[in-house]
Amino acid sequence: MTGIYNPLLVWLSLVVAFLASYTAVELSAGLNALASAKWRPLWLAGGALSMGLGIWSMHFIGMLAFTLPVAIGYDLGITAASLILAIGVSLIALATASRGALSQRRLCAAGTIMGAGVAAMHFTGMQAMQMSPAIEYTPWRVVVSVGVAIAASITALWLAFTLRTSGVQNRVVKRLGAAFAMAIAITGMHYFGMSAANFSAGSLCLSGDKLDANRLALIVSATSFIVLVGTLALLGFHTGSLSVSLKRANRQLHYLGTHDALTNLPNRQQLSLRIARAVAGCARGEASFAVLFIDLDGFKAINDSLGHGVGDDLLQVCAERLRQDLHQTDMVARLGGDEFVIVAEASSAEATAAGVLRRLSEEIVVDGLPLRVSASIGIAFHPRDGGNADELLHCADAAMYAAKQSGRNTFCVFEPHMNQTALKSLILQRDLHRALSDGELSVSFQPKFRVASQSVTGVEALIRWRHPELGEIAPLEFIPLAERSGLIVDIGDWVLREVCRNIVLWDAQGLPAISVAVNLSPMQFNVPDLVARIDALLGAAGVDPCRLMFEITETAAMQNVEKASRTIETLQSHGYTVAVDDFGTGYSSLGYLQRFRFDQIKIDGSFMRELDAGGERGGALLSAVVALARALRIEVVAEGVETESQFHALSELACDQVQGFLLSRPLPASEFLTFLRASADRIVAAGTACVAPAV
């Protein structure tokens, strides 16, 4: 015996399912918006009641849409039980979708309970027909329909939950879409479940009262319609669905407009307001305040080399560290990029800066990579340095810049002359592009000498910039600017080409094949295709890699130890040599010397002055490094050797090589050519395997 469906009622069931689903989605969002926990159980109960009724009505109308050749009725008790099941299932679903974070396990568990519940409701409802003989079910169809119910429930819960937490854009459309998907799933389950039922020929319905199916359908759908629409209206009225979501949207908009999306810190606009308030407070006699301008050191290099994802994570960790340990009145804001500002009480400004430096310098692990950052901080005081946000930020920025210039990882208090410095930096930054294209740059060469024999072991290329108006600009002044703007990569390529050009020139004159060291700033060192770039440049010039040494600072190497040691190994395997520059000024971890396998250690010039003064520190570090380097077979070079007494002390310590004004200043290319000719007999040729290319 087969049944037929009344298409109108099928449609009606779909509409009711849709309405029930939409109510559920709205409810789970509305529940979340409920401020008072006191009302939550009541809302939950009411919500479950209307949603359960909705699902059940859908099912019931679906049943009524189905007519068998015999008269059908429904047992009241069993029908009521199926309604109670539907309400219970809705309670579980709503409670899950409206609270806390939805873990995968909780989602699956709640979805399975809900799906099984819906299925149970369905088959209980079928039972209410009390057919004789009993309905026979096709097992696989039953299993599939239960599976559909569970999958649909999990999807629906997930949708409801994501929608609850998602942004304001197109929310209504999204909710309608979700409700529609849920409705299709619920009706799909129902009709698939129905298809599992086989009615034997000559079946009879034993249940007592046989109401007219069409009338019953009308009553049920009207009731559920009223309940559902009522719930929606109540939702709209009470939690003020519309007004609440409008308010929420407004709050979100306001938050977005005043906070930085990445770190959740207040943005520049908020900062200006905060400073204006503090200025007004001072006028009323409140304590004076300071503005701390914080810029991370070497962030750009990390961001460029490890990707923005790592950069963003790093910024978040830094923001968190800045937030810690602030007094109630203080504020941390993010200006953008790696720039942050703290507003603090004047009396505690320097202590705050010191605390920030300390906390930022602790190791940060991002994606399993141990990273280290430091910061440069500039401090400006109100009212001494400025009377409004713009003036104070400007001065704090200038002081931050001074902190960068004085070697980073430190703070500087603003002084009027710093404004000049900041202005000059702006001019230099602007003119640097032109310097590169108009030939204002040149390379000087400073030789290195073996202590014992005074033979020439190599030479270091040092960049020079003659500015048409400002004259000679020190590399320490413009290299950081080039790093900031990213121009350092082009400048680095230029230096390398210039060095190659000179090597080819020397070789052409039959001069000894001297090794030339080229400095790589942190950002250059972190360019992803560094070695390939270098190979290409040397290849184009026809220069053998063994003629080149690269000098990198500890700081550059330590930014990402894994990657740095790989880059260093690649450079070495391609025939280049690598030196660690300014040793002793950064992390000075002797342990890392073993790890990195440098060919040369250049001990920073600052230690030489201590040697002169008979200081302990210089001597102690030097003898320790020399001993370790000897064991590791790494050459030790002392930089910045200016006096005879320093030279003498170094030879006592058995240091291998020296470089400094004492033996030679950096020489312009033409002068260095003269030097090379004059010293031809005491020049140590680069690398043993290296043969100067034939001319």
Alpha carbon 659 to its chain's center: 42
139-142 LR contacts (CB < 8 Å, sep 24+): 141/192, 141/193, 141/195, 141/196, 142/193, 142/196
Shortest spacing between CB 251 and Ca ion, in angstroms = 54
Task: Name residues contacting Ca ion, limited to 624-663 (CB under 5 A).
Answer: 639
Residue of 476, 689, 694, 695 interacting with ligand C2E (CB under 6 A)? 476
Rounded-to-integer distance, Cα 591 and Cα 606, Å:
21
DSSP states of 212-236: -HHHHHHHHHHHHHHHHHHHHHHHH
Indicate whether 555 belongs to the interface with ligand C2E (CB under 6 A): no
Question: Distances from the Cα of 660 to the Cαs of 510, 565, 652, in angstroms?
Answer: 27, 29, 18
CB of 443 vs ligand C2E, minimal distance in Å: 7
Give the one residue of 13, 263, 303, 519 binding ligand C2E; rule: CB under 6 A: 519
472 binds ligand C2E (CB under 6 A): no
Distances (CA, A) of 452 to 90, 606, 677: 88, 22, 22
Of 1-9, 130-138, 519-527, 587-595, the segment contacting ligand C2E by CB under 6 A is 519-527
Q: Which does 527 bind (CB under 5 to 8 A by kind): Ca ion, ligand C2E, none?
A: none
Distance in angstroms (rounded) separating the CA atoms of residues 576 and 311:
30
Instruction: Return phi, psi of residue 103, to 5°.
Output: -75, 160
Contact partner, 476, from Ca ion, ligand C2E, none, Cβ < 5-8 Å per class: ligand C2E
Which phi and psi angles does 359 have, rounded to 5°? -70, -35
* Interface with ligand C2E, residue 666, by CB under 6 A: yes
Judged by beta carbon, residue 584 or residue 640, the one nearer ligand C2E is 640
Cβ nearer to ligand C2E, comparing 125 with 605 = 605
Q: Which of 554, 581, 610, 656 binds Ca ion (CB under 5 A)?
A: 581
| 584 sits near ligand C2E (criterion: CB under 6 A) | no
**Rounded to the nearest whole angstrom, what is the least distance from the CB of residue 476 to ligand C2E in the complex?**
5
Residues of this chain, 253-292, that bind ligand C2E according to CB under 6 A: none
Sign of the CA dihedral running 606, 610, 612, 618: negative
Residues binding ligand C2E: number (CB under 6 A) = 25
| DSSP 8-state assignment for residue 683 | B
Q: Kindly tell me which of 26 and 297 has the beta carbon lying closer to Ca ion.
A: 297
Choose among Ca ion, ligand C2E, none what residue 474 binds, the Cβ cut-off being 5 to 8 Å by kind.
ligand C2E
Rounded to a whole number of angstroms, the distance between the first and last alpha carbons of the chain is 102
Please identify, using beta-carbon distances, which residue of 572 and 585 lies nearer to ligand C2E: 585
Task: Mark residues 622-661: x for contact with ligand C2E by CB under 6 A, - for none.
Answer: -----------------xxxx-----------------xx
Residue 521 makes contact with ligand C2E by CB under 6 A:
yes
Window of 280-288, 380-388, 520-528, 679-687 that interacts with ligand C2E by CB under 6 A: 520-528
Q: Is 692 left (phi over 0), alpha (psi -120 to 50) or beta?
A: beta
C-beta separation of 358 from 294 below 8 A = no
Q: Decide if 187 contacts 145 (C-beta within 8 A).
A: no
Residue 393 CB partners (closer than 8 Å, separation 6+): 291, 293, 341, 380
Cα torsion angle, 300, 301, 305, 309, sign: negative
Least Å from the CB of residue 581 to Ca ion:
4
Instruction: Please work out the total of residues on this chain that contact Ca ion, with binding judged by CB under 5 A.
Output: 5
**Neighbouring-strand partners of residue 259:** 266
Q: Which residues in 426-445 contact Ca ion (CB under 5 A)?
A: none
Residue 154, binding choice from ligand C2E, Ca ion, none, Cβ under 5 to 8 Å by partner class? none
Between CA 17 and CA 446 the distance in angstroms is 83
* 519, 560, 577, 664: which one binds Ca ion (CB under 5 A): 519
DSSP 8-state symbol, 201:
T
Among 446, 526, 560, 577, binds ligand C2E (CB under 6 A): 446
Write the burial class of residue 389 (CB in 10 Å: 0-12 exposed, 13-18 middle, 19+ buried): buried
Q: Which is nearer to ligand C2E, 400 or 520 (CB)?
A: 520
Give Dmax (Cα) for the chain. Answer: 122
Q: Which is nearer to ligand C2E, 389 or 463 (CB)?
A: 463
Per CB under 5 A, residues contacting Ca ion are: 519, 551, 581-582, 639
Contacts to ligand C2E by CB under 6 A: 446, 461-463, 474-476, 479, 492, 495, 519-521, 524, 551, 581-582, 605, 639-642, 660-661, 666
